[in-house]
């Protein structure tokens, strides 16, 4: 649109100038021609006048009849253009002269005229002759033409010229204005087009993010409900398992044991899926900590190589002096494994998988054109590149959508990249896919650089069953009846004294009545207008020393801000196992 | 200035001197003017076709006494009308075969002015008479009018002779007899 040739066009101005000059030249030429023609006519008229006089006075001159000559000469007075006239004899002496008042007298001797026009006057002579007999000559001179008459004579042309100039001026002005308008219009049009393109891009980005957001809410909701159910199922299976071990070992019991194990395995796989769904919906509870991506990638290399198989070469290129980042290491491992699995599936006949790490900076210009909102600044880049089949642009666009898969039915869940996307976004980063069909794919994960101090290393896992028992009084708050029964069962089995409440009001009432409660174990999402966070705050007002353990599959609302634990908040995510809860409880209770 | 005019001027000058001397000199000036007139009349008169052959001289004949001296010859020198050079003849008498286109009939003892006019009546001859010479009247008749030489014209005689007078000439005449 911004054609450089459309800068200010001087052509109309040039045309106007040339037209003006041509007009002036034509006008001058016409005026000169008219003037010459007029002079010629005036001279002719004067000549005719002189000829008439000459013819008239021939006899009078021949016979020296001066009164008659005088009469003829005086007749010229009637012509106001005649300034002077004279009749000369054959010797060139003036016989009769006439000069209008104010005009110079005729010459004292018959002049030989070469130029008939002098000082605007026209002077002519005419011989007086009759049948070859020369009698003398006459002289006639016109008056100089008054300026007003010259002006009058040329006024028409002058007026035309002036009008033409005015017209020319008006039209070139209009043309210039038109040109300016056209240019403005072009500019505006160009701007409009740019704006339209930008708007279309913004709309597309908004649509995409809205789609991801609504998909996230949908999957998050489903996953939350599933988590509750899975917790109950897994709890039931665990209880069955513990009781099975107490039964005598025979074939029937062994069959029961295998069945329980299979059911447990299925439930665990279901739990993994719901975890991924939650990851995509950015509602998974993360345990972020300062991590060194180089260390993490190194630690993962063996597992990755096993996952990739023998046909795929794994190459790891670690950036020197890599910054730390702040993320959930387990989820990051998950993300890299997911990418590894995708890469393996894309490289059917083998290939090479490269994992690179590097420090990088995202500048504002780059950040602005991303559909996701992200701050410009320093990021740790983890790039996973394969030499596989690659993706077309439509596939890239949909790659992060949950349940979108290009794999055969049953081979993929369509949740791998969703987990990567949800986890990276929840960790304050972005993930980009660069791919060409047949050229392979690069997935780049950008995680924000972490400037804070290292956190304490996670306490080692308690493995001694005896250390998992306790006798403290626990207030269990859970609106889901089955889940409350399951959790209560575990707590009692571990030796704890348990008081159960279905909502916040009931829990506070119980807390007021029961003096020995040392731990509040509450779901984050509660009915009755008070959520787990608010309940904990109120309970702490009553018992400042009260310890709190939250549980949720759905951490968005109260205790978790942007999916990250507030410092000091203890959380166990659903679905949790007997061991998970036992260990977590002891850690919370023993933490001073 | 032509030789003729110079001569004329000289005679006029001589006349002026004569006047100063108190002698009668009206005659030379008067006749000088008349001589000039005589040589100019043919320019205002048309002769019938056949009156002159092309290239023939146009003869001005002074019949009888010549009152002009050499003034007439002076005035006629170098002049021509159309292709007819003026020629001055002096004749004691005139008749139809004289070959004159203009006669100045001053009259003499041998042929009076009237007789001379009679001799060329009906012929294409411009007849000029002079009041100073007699009472006979030709087609053009010189008179002195207010100290100036003027003339009367008789077109009737001219028509008889087949001559046509230019109206400009008629306009200058003191009278025109038709």
Pinpoint the alpha helices (H) of A76-146: none
* A4: confidence class by pLDDT, cuts 50, 70, 90: very low
Contact B80 A132 (CB under 8 A): yes
Strands A560-561 and A564-565: antiparallel
Q: Among A103, A120, A145, which residue terminates a domain?
A: A145
Contact B43 A130 (CB under 8 A): yes
Q: What is the pLDDT of residue B61?
A: 92
Statement to judge: residues A309 and A442 lie in one domain: yes
Q: What is the pLDDT of residue A456?
A: 46
Whether residue A271 is preceded by a cis peptide bond, meaning omega within 30 degrees of 0, is: no
- Residue A533's domain comprises 465-590
- % of chain A with per-residue pLDDT over 90: 15
Contact B172 A65 (CB under 8 A): yes
Statement to judge: residues A135 and A250 lie in one domain: no
Q: Is A133 helix (H, G, I), strand (E, B) or coil?
A: strand
* A409: confidence class by pLDDT, cuts 50, 70, 90: low
Statement to judge: residues A442 and A297 lie in one domain: yes
* CA A116 and chain centroid, separation: 84
- In-domain check, residue B21: no
Pinpoint the alpha helices (H) of A281-404: 293-308, 329-346, 364-368, 393-398
Statement to judge: residues A295 and A440 lie in one domain: yes
- In-domain check, residue B116: yes
SS3 string, A501-542, reads ECCHHHHHHHHHHCCCEEEEEEECCCCCCCCHHHHHHHHHHH
What's the token pair of residue A397? Answer: 């666009």
Q: What is the pLDDT of residue B23?
A: 39
Q: What is the pLDDT of residue A249?
A: 81
User: Of the candidates A255, A270, A263, A272, which has an alpha carbon nearest to the alpha carbon of residue A238?
Assistant: A263
Per DSSP, what are the bridge partners of residue B105?
B63
Statement to judge: residues A208 and A134 lie in one domain: no
Contact A68 B82 (CB under 8 A): no
Q: Which CATH number covers residue A50?
A: 3.30.450.20
SS3 string, A192-222, reads HHHHHHHHHHHHHHHHHHHHHHHHHHHHHHH
Q: Which of residues 75-94 of B touch A (CB under 8 A)?
A: 79-82
* A212: confidence class by pLDDT, cuts 50, 70, 90: confident
Annotate A209-242 with b (16+ C-beta within 10 A) or e (fewer).
Answer: eeebeebbeebbeebbebbbbbbbbbbbbbbebe
The answer on pLDDT for B62 being more than 70 is yes
- Vertex A255, ends A251 and A259: CA angle to 5°? 170
Question: What is the sign, positive or negative, of the torsion defined by CA atoms of A35, A37, A43, A45?
Answer: negative
Name the domain count of chain A.
4
Q: What is the pLDDT of residue B141?
A: 94
Cα–Cα distance measured from residue B154 to residue B160, given in angstroms and rounded to the nearest whole number? 10
The answer on pLDDT for A455 being more than 70 is no
CB within 8 A of A328, min separation 6: which ones?
Answer: A286, A287, A288, A289, A423, A427
Q: At what angle do helices B3-20 and B26-40 cross, to 10 degrees?
A: 160
Statement to judge: residues A427 and A292 lie in one domain: yes
* A411: confidence class by pLDDT, cuts 50, 70, 90: low
Q: Report yes or no: A414 and A358 within 8 Å, Cβ to Cβ.
A: no
* A283: confidence class by pLDDT, cuts 50, 70, 90: low
Q: What is the pLDDT of residue B22?
A: 39
By residue count, chain A amounts to: 592
Nearest to B5 among A59, A91, A130 (CB): A91
* A362: confidence class by pLDDT, cuts 50, 70, 90: confident
The answer on pLDDT for B14 being more than 50 is no
Q: Report yes or no: A559 and A571 within 8 Å, Cβ to Cβ.
A: yes
Average pLDDT over residues A223-248: 86
- In-domain check, residue A280: no
Closest-CA distance, A158 to chain B, in angstroms, reads 48
Give φ, ψ of A292 to 5 degrees. -100, 110
- Vertex A104, ends A99 and A106: CA angle to 5°? 60
- In-domain check, residue B46: yes
Q: Which CATH number covers residue A327?
A: 3.30.565.10
Enumerate the residues of chain B whose CB falls inside 8 A of the CB of residue A65.
172
Q: Which of A131-135, A231-235, A382-386, A434-438 has the highest mean pLDDT?
A: A382-386
Q: What is the pLDDT of residue A560?
A: 54
Contact B168 A90 (CB under 8 A): no
Cα–Cα distance measured from residue B27 to residue B18, given in angstroms and rounded to the nearest whole number? 11
Q: Report yes or no: B59 and B81 within 8 Å, Cβ to Cβ.
A: no
Statement to judge: residues A140 and A154 lie in one domain: no
Q: Among A124, A145, A166, which residue terminates a domain?
A: A145
* DSSP of B54-87: TT--EEEEEEES--STTHHHHHHTT-EETTEEEE
Q: What is the CA radius of gyration of chain B?
A: 16
Q: Which CATH number covers residue B137?
A: 3.40.50
Q: What is the pLDDT of residue A379?
A: 92
- In-domain check, residue B135: yes
Statement to judge: residues A293 and A437 lie in one domain: yes
User: Of the candidates A585, A333, A587, which has an alpha carbon nearest to the alpha carbon of residue A459?
Assistant: A587
Closest-CA distance, B86 to chain A, in angstroms, reads 11
- In-domain check, residue B24: no
Statement to judge: residues A437 and A500 lie in one domain: no
Enumerate the residues of chain B whose CB falls inside 8 A of the CB of residue A68.
171-172
Average pLDDT over chain A, rounded to an integer:
83
User: Of the candidates A386, A391, A460, A383, which has an alpha carbon nearest to the alpha carbon of residue A420?
Assistant: A383
Annotate A489-519 with b (16+ C-beta within 10 A) or e (fewer).
Answer: bbbeebebbbbbbbbbbebbebbeeeeebbb
What's the token pair of residue A539? Answer: 């309970």
- Vertex A84, ends A83 and A88: CA angle to 5°? 165
Q: What is the pLDDT of residue B19?
A: 43
Q: What is the pLDDT of residue B87?
A: 92
pLDDT single digits (tens) A151-174 = 888 888 888 888 888 988 888 888
Interface A-B, measured as beta-carbon pairs within 8 A, has a size of: 52
| pTM score of the predicted model | 0.46
The residues of A whose Cβ lies within 8 A of any Cβ of B are 56, 58-60, 62-65, 68, 90-91, 130-133, 135
Chain A residue with Cα closest to B172: A60
Nearest to B82 among A56, A58, A131 (CB): A131
- Residue B51's domain comprises 30-177
Cα–Cα distance measured from residue A303 to residue A204, given in angstroms and rounded to the nearest whole number? 39
Name the domain count of chain B.
1
Q: What is the pLDDT of residue B15?
A: 47
CB within 8 A of A251, min separation 6: which ones?
Answer: none
The answer on pLDDT for A337 being more than 50 is yes
Strands B45-46 and B164-165: antiparallel
- In-domain check, residue A282: no
Statement to judge: residues A182 and A295 lie in one domain: no
* DSSP of A323-359: PPEEE-HHHHHHHHHHHHHHHHHH-TT-EEEEEEEEE
The answer on pLDDT for A128 being more than 60 is yes
Chain A residue with Cα closest to B77: A133
Per DSSP, what are the bridge partners of residue B104?
B62, B128
């Amino acid at each position: 649109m911004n054609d450089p040739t459309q800068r200010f066009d001087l052509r109309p101005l040039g045309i106007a100038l040339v037209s003006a000059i041509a007009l002036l030249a034509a006008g001058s030429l016409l005026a000169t021609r008219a003037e010459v023609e007029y002079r010629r006519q005036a001279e002719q008229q004067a000549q005719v006048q002189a000829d008439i006089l000459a013819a008239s006075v021939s006899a009078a001159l021949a016979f020296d009849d001066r009164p008659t000559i005088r009469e003829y000469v005086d007749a010229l007075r009637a012509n106001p253009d005649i300034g002077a006239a004279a009749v000369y004899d054959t010797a060139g002496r003036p016989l009769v002269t006439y000069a209008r008042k104010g005009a110079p007298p005729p010459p004292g001797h018959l002049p030989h005229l070469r130029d008939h026009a002098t000082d605007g006057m026209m002077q002519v002579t005419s011989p007086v002759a009759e049948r070859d007999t020369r009698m003398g000559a006459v002289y006639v001179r016109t008056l100089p033409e008054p300026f007003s008459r010259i002006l009058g004579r040329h006024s028409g042309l002058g007026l035309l010229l002036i009008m033409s100039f005015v017209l020319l001026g008006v039209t070139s002005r209009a043309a210039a204005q038109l040109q300016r308008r056209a240019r403005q219009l072009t500019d505006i049009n160009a701007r409009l087009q740019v704006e339209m393109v930008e708007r279309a891009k913004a709309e597309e980005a908004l649509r995409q993010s809205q789609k991801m957001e609504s998909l996230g809410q949908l999957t998050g909701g489903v996953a939350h409900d599933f988590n509750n159910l899975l917790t109950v199922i897994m709890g039931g299976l665990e209880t069955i398992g513990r009781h099975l071990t107490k039964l005598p070992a025979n074939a029937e019991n062994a069959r029961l044991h295998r069945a329980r194990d299979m059911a447990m395995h299925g439930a665990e796989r279901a739990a993994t899926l719901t975890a991924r769904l939650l990851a995509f919906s950015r509602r998974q509870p993360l345990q972020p900590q300062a991590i060194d991506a180089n260390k993490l990638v190194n630690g993962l290399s063996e597992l990755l190589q096993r996952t990739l198989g023998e046909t795929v070469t794994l190459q790891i290129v670690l950036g020197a002096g890599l910054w730390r980042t702040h993320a959930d290491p387990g989820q990051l491992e998950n993300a890299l494994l997911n990418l590894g699995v995708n890469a393996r599936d894309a490289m059917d006949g083998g290939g090479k998988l490269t994992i690179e790490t590097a420090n990088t900076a995202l500048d504002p210009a780059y950040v602005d054109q991303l559909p996701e909102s992200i701050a410009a600044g320093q990021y740790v880049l983890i790039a996973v590149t394969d030499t596989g089949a690659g993706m077309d642009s439509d596939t890239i666009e949909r790659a992060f959508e949950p349940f979108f898969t290009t794999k055969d039915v049953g081979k993929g869940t369509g949740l791998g990249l969703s987990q990567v996307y949800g986890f990276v976004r929840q960790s304050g980063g972005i993930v980009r896919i660069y791919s060409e069909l047949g050229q392979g794919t690069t997935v780049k994960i950008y995680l924000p650089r972490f400037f804070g101090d290292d956190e304490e290393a996670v306490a080692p896992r308690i493995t001694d069953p005896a250390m998992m028992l306790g006798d403290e009084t626990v207030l269990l708050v859970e609106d889901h009846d089955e889940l409350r029964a399951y959790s209560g069962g575990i707590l009692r089995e571990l030796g704890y004294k348990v008081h159960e409440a279905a909502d916040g009001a009931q829990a506070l009432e119980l807390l007021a009545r029961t003096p020995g409660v040392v731990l509040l174990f509450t779901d984050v999402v509660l009915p009755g207008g008070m959520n787990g966070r608010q309940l904990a705050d109120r309970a702490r007002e009553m018992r400042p020393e009260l310890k709190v353990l939250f549980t949720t599959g759905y951490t968005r609302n109260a205790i978790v801000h942007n999916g990250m634990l507030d410092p000091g908040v203890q959380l166990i995510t659903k679905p949790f196992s007997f061991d998970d809860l036992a260990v977590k409880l002891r850690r919370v209770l023993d933490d001073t | 200035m032509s030789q003729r005019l110079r001569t004329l001027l000289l005679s006029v000058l001589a006349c002026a001197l004569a006047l100063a001397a108190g002698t009668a000199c009206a005659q030379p000036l008067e006749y000088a003017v008349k001589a000039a007139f005589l040589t100019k009349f043919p320019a205002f008169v048309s002769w019938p076709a056949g009156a002159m052959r092309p290239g023939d001289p146009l003869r001005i004949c002074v019949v009888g006494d010549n009152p002009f001296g050499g003034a007439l010859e002076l005035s006629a020198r170098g002049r021509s009308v159309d292709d007819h050079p003026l020629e001055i003849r002096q004749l004691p008498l005139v008749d139809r075969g004289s070959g004159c286109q203009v006669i100045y009939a001053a009259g003499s003892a041998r042929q009076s002015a009237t007789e001379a006019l009679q001799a060329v009546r009906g012929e294409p001859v411009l007849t000029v008479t002079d009041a100073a010479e007699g009472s006979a009247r030709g087609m053009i008749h010189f008179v002195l009018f207010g100290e100036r030489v003027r003339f009367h014209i008789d077109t009737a005689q001219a028509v008889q002779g087949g001559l046509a007078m230019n109206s400009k000439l008629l306009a200058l005449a003191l009278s025109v007899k038709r």
